[in-house]
Amino acid sequence: MNQSLNKLLATFNDTLMASIEASKLNTDLEQSMLYSLEAGGKRVRPLLLLATLNMLQPNQYEKGMQTAVALEMIHTYSLIHDDLPAMDNDDLRRGKPTNHKVYGEWLAILAGDALLTKAFECVSNDHSLTAETRVALISSLSDASGHRGMVGGQTLDMQSESLDVPLSVLEQIHLHKTGALIRFAVHAATIIANTNENEQQQLLQFANHLGIIFQIKDDLLDQYGTTEALGKQTGSDDANNKSTYVTLLGRAEAETILARHVADAEEILAVLSQKYNTTDLDYLLKLFYQRQN
């Protein structure tokens, strides 16, 4: 990772870990929350938020830090709940035992609930932003992560297990399940930077491409990656009878679509680079489609 993103990442990780203060009520709950926050995620969503904000308003990324923390908390809670026996029943996540494997099922459910709740607390208490900005961020974040967003997508995903879904449904699933939070990362940066409508639309379009790139890459890695590099079981889509870009289209066609979205995303960044320094977003885009885990 380049120096600029590394700096954002280091500051972010420090802020994230400091965000769960001990309540002295029950240390197990907070340990369980921190376990999954610490479990070595790539932090692509917070980095995307901070890098976009840093591009729009150089050196003002601190203003996005609490929102980035909130975003990672929501992503993390969704992984904890998705891994539960009643959902995907996964034992490994990022090379470590999943939350319920370590803390038991009921504490994993509650840790997820607490992380989701904490996310909104972080934004509501962020005194570096005006109340208007905080309210706009919370409105966007709750929409992106709720029944019309991420949770809706996860529901569609679970309903589609063992079904041969058409490509259009698969796109609906991922537009919501993974796309909504990636889109929020960029949307949040434009809210904080008060970006004009035109540039906001370009950036949201960029985020849409990123979301699809992320998912096709995910499907390719699940099929052709290794458990070692991935830190979780490969072939789990097959085991759960899930339709993916790869099972629906085959490897070659999936890679062709991936390349098309990469080209479209690069084109948007080329336009933005006439006004802004897009180095970090160029780098993140590469990270999305070249990642091996």
Gap between the Cα atoms of 75 and 119, Å rounded: 10
Q: Which is nearer to a second copy, 135 or 271 (CB)?
A: 135
Residue in this structure with the two tokens 């639309």, named with its chain if needed: 201
185 touches a second copy (CB under 8 A): no
Site string for a second copy, 140-179 (x = CB under 8 A): -xxx-xxxx--xxxxxx-xx------------x---x---
Site string for a second copy, 18-57 (x = CB under 8 A): --x--x-xx-xxx--x------------------------
Q: How far is the CB of 176 from a second copy (least distance, A)?
A: 7
Q: Using the rule CB under 8 A, which residue among 118, 187, 217, 242 binds a second copy?
A: 118
Q: How far is the CB of 101 from a second copy (least distance, A)?
A: 13
211 touches a second copy (CB under 8 A): no
130 touches a second copy (CB under 8 A): yes
Gap between the Cα atoms of 128 and 55, Å rounded: 19
Q: Which is nearer to a second copy, 122 or 220 (CB)?
A: 122
- Do the Cβ atoms of 11 and 86 come closer than 8 Å? no
Question: What single-letter amino acid sits at 76?
Answer: T
* Rg of the chain taking only CA atoms, in angstroms: 18
Q: Interior CA angle at 141 toward 155 and 50, to 5°? A: 120
Q: Binding-site residue total for a second copy (CB under 8 A)? A: 55
Q: Using the rule CB under 8 A, which residue among 138, 204, 257, 287 binds a second copy?
A: 138
- Do the Cβ atoms of 144 and 153 come closer than 8 Å? no
Question: What single-letter amino acid sits at 177?
Answer: K
Q: Which is nearer to a second copy, 93 or 217 (CB)?
A: 93
CA proximity to 53, closest of 230, 154, 262, 203: 203
Q: How far is the CB of 240 from a second copy (least distance, A)?
A: 12
Q: How far is the CB of 29 from a second copy (least distance, A)?
A: 4
Sign of CA dihedral 209, 172, 257, 288: positive
Give helix 105-124 / helix 131-145 axis angle, nearest 10°. Answer: 150
Site string for a second copy, 62-101 (x = CB under 8 A): ---------------xx--x--x-xx--------------
Q: Which is nearer to a second copy, 104 or 250 (CB)?
A: 104
Residue in this structure with the two tokens 């923390």, named with its chain if needed: 69
Expressed in percent and rounded to 5, the helix, strand and coil fractions of the chain are 75, 0, 25
Give me 167's structure tokens.
């490509």
Residues in contact with a second copy by the rule CB under 8 A: 20, 23, 25-26, 28-30, 33, 77-78, 81, 84, 86-87, 104-107, 109-110, 112-114, 116-118, 120-121, 123-125, 130-132, 134-135, 138-139, 141-143, 145-148, 151-156, 158-159, 172, 176
